[in-house]
A and B are shown apart, each in its own frame.
Chain A
């Protein structure tokens, strides 16, 4: 067995930069408008599924506020725990639940963000994608956003790709 330092626990392919994902999530929060009733108190992000982004979101919550609102991160054991969440983050490992979530949260003012590519086509409002050159981008499902009584700014739309 090779025991070079390269074969220690650090050996893996290029790591996903969840800090960059977190920055995108933060901008989603800034450039999406929630209904009046959801615009007060803590801003709650629910993370469904195991993802390293949880730690990064907690770092964000510890250092930034959203328009004066405290950011709170909740790890959700099941989708039903998301009561009070403004943003529902679906980790890659729970991607298959997106259609069910779409039904469960129908008409609720929640922004559903999918970590895995393609989820915006399946019911998430936004989902991440990396280009061939590794540029981090996102897809937008405008219909879903409107259905959840949310408004997305034109400047954010200009950055993403509308998939419907």
Chain B
């Protein structure tokens, strides 16, 4: 195989592709100019390596002919596919995913706007944590809540508290006191097999934490690991380490029996930069912003019966506080344990019934040693869930899913003298739900109808129907979706509700996606969305009562566009995506509003552009470049002399990362080095909300330029892989 015959034709072609984007999105012009300069030389590489694709196809054809193809046994016929060997891109876009429909459908026909991220993409990028991975997804962004905690946003909307569901091997990672999930050196990304992301509503399937989206993380199981794997990452800035984590996993599948165990332990920091609080007091986060994960995940299955247990112990320290920085760093822990027993009973080839029991025990935001500047918080919560789901496929073209779910929440307050709103140190709630979904696939269109009804003993009911039409016509596909979704008030939303009145917030989302597979190796998709949330549950600080408070407000929402282009071959891949939101024509509430800009919400840029790329320099060496451009954002950064928060429009910012991965001659041993935030742009997480009575949290620094070293070793068990 020779790499010396470099053709410049593909290089030209790719610039022309950029030119087309230039016409479509004038906004991108400036950004592309910068990116093109950085990436231009790298496009020579795929030009060279694309030669190898042709060779491979010839080889495959020859092999097909040289075998006695027509004498294949009947059993071997079962392995035949209806289409030619898929390209790397076609493997990706024809992958079956079930996050949006329970019934597996390919990405282009799945009835939601979805993103699929594979283990190879994560490994190639050298991503340090889930923020690096999810940041590359259109519409996904991050902001700071309080106490050093970073949460997720979706399509311009702050979604940290119970609006985006994070699933890890089917377990709901959101803590049930507030509904939040914490990001930053938290989840073990080395063990991820794939991430399926719904960038829109998912409540009709998943209930009250999936109002704006679902992040479904699926880790490698016994069959995938088939041995032992260890890996480590060390990241450092010029001043201090940013992370030093180790991962391990082991697993095996033997006939119908499969087991796996994986874990992670490490230390990290949010940043080494100075944090300037809203009152202009400064403290350095080095040594004061620990992000220390410990995690273990065990799963086993035999035929249809499976068990999973996860322990997630995320220990942090915070010095940034709520508004004013704290006198010293405080310990703050997020501890969770999850257990699941599930049985998939295949009654016959058409009907399966799956009963499932889940239990989770969580102690989030635990602050054992509080003082007058930062109160202690010692609450635990458990959720016990029973679920039964039936899936019936009377024909290949029809699938019906129906089921019921019931859960009971129980929370305890261990802080001396502290009680819940009922005057007791414990509180319990229960909820039951029924859900159904029908999928009909016709030659013209796939039709999906679904609905879920939840009834909670305190806040009442929520009914969320959805309808979707999808279809792939050779190169073209479309999705037309209309969904209702809701956010279930979490335990503390109820506890701190004004006058003990709180209702689920309800959202209506209309989405249209159009996609066109330009070549065997490239695809372009674009979608439009319109989100309206009625009666959003909004946090504020009740200055009179000197306590947190939640209440339903009027209405909020965004609308916008997301576009994505992907090209993928044996040489590697390039992906470009652009996302845009606006609040024009939408009601806005004071907590999220930007006073002098009617199209923006606090914290999140209207425009975001991502580029991810990986180039196989040789079979074992790859060069990986990723980048994110954020348009201007709005933040409250300080207060004036009357202690009124001052709004600031931040400059656009660009994050560029480079990572080189090398598969060493030692089988299974891979090393990687990289630099993240190459330009030392010093990104900050902005608080996407404000409140009238307190000034809020100033932007929290992320790691500046960080040098990363990765090492991983996979030792596969010998013998036949089952």
Contact = CB atoms under 8 A, between A and B. Distances in A.
A15 B84 contact: yes
Contact of A60 (B70, B83, B518): B70
Contacts of A164: none
Interface residues on B, range: 35 or more
A19 B94 contact: no
B519 A11 contact: yes
Interface in A22-61: 23-24, 26-27, 31, 60
Given A4-B13, A4-B17, A6-B522, A129 B396 contact: yes
B81 A3 contact: no
Q: Name the residue among B83, B474, B567 with the largest chain A CB count within 10 angstroms.
A: B83
Interface in B648-677: none
B154 to A, nearest CB: 28
Nearest to B519: A6
A3 B94 CA distance: 26
Contacts of A3: 13, 16
A27 B396 contact: no
Given A13-B474, A16-B83, A4 B77 contact: no
Main secondary structure of the interface of B (DSSP, over half): mixed
A11 B84 contact: no
A14 B64 CA distance: 18
Nearest to B520: A14
B83 A4 contact: no
Given A17-B84, A26-B70, A5 B77 contact: no
Interface in A122-164: 128-136, 155-156, 159, 161
Interface in A73-89: none
A6 B69 contact: no
Contacts of B520: 6, 10-14
B41 interface: no
Contacts of A131: 396
A16 B96 contact: no
B77 A27 contact: yes
B658 to A, nearest CB: 26
Contacts of B84: 14-17
Contacts of A10: 519-520
Interface in B399-435: none
A90 B519 CA distance: 29
Interface residues of A, number: 37
A20 B82 contact: yes
Nearest to A11: B519
Contacts of A2: 13, 16-17, 20, 518
B570 interface: no
A11 B16 CA distance: 16
B82 A4 contact: no
Contact of B81 (A17, A155, A159): A17
B80 A135 contact: yes
A4 B14 CA distance: 7
A140 to B, nearest CB: 14
A24 B105 contact: no
A4 B10 contact: yes
A24 B14 contact: no
A99 interface: no
A27 B74 contact: yes
B521 interface: yes
Contacts of A12: 474-475, 520
A19 B64 contact: yes
B584 interface: no
B170 interface: no
A5 B87 CA distance: 16
Interface string B45-82: 00000000000000000001000011010100111111
Contacts of A60: 70
A69 interface: no
A96 to B, nearest CB: 12
Which of B10, B77, B82, B105 is most buried by chain A, counting CB atoms within 10 A of its CB? Answer: B82
B106 A135 contact: no
Given A5-B9, A19-B64, A135-B78, A13 B70 contact: no
A63 B78 contact: no
Given A26-B70, A27-B74, A156-B74, A11 B80 contact: no
Contacts of A26: 70
B493 interface: no
Nearest to A15: B84
Report which residue of B13, B20, B396 has the largest number of chain A beta carbons within 10 angstroms of its beta carbon. B396
B105 A5 contact: no
B87 to A, nearest CB: 8
A132 B106 contact: yes
Contacts of B223: none
A13 B82 contact: no
A16 B82 contact: yes
B582 interface: no
Interface in B466-489: 474-475
A131 B103 CA distance: 13
A46 B72 CA distance: 23
Contacts of B14: 4
A6 B20 CA distance: 14
Contacts of B106: 132
Given A19-B64, A60-B70, A159-B77, 19 more contacts: A2-B13, A3-B13, A4-B13, A6-B520, A6-B521, A11-B519, A14-B86, A14-B87, A17-B82, A19-B69, A20-B80, A24-B77, A24-B80, A132-B104, A134-B83, A134-B94, A135-B82, A156-B74, A159-B74
16 contacts: A3-B13, A4-B10, A4-B14, A6-B567, A7-B518, A13-B474, A14-B83, A15-B84, A16-B82, A17-B83, A23-B70, A128-B82, A132-B105, A134-B86, A135-B79, A135-B81
The 3 lowest CB-CB distance pairs between A and B, nearest first, are A4-B13, A6-B519, A130-B82
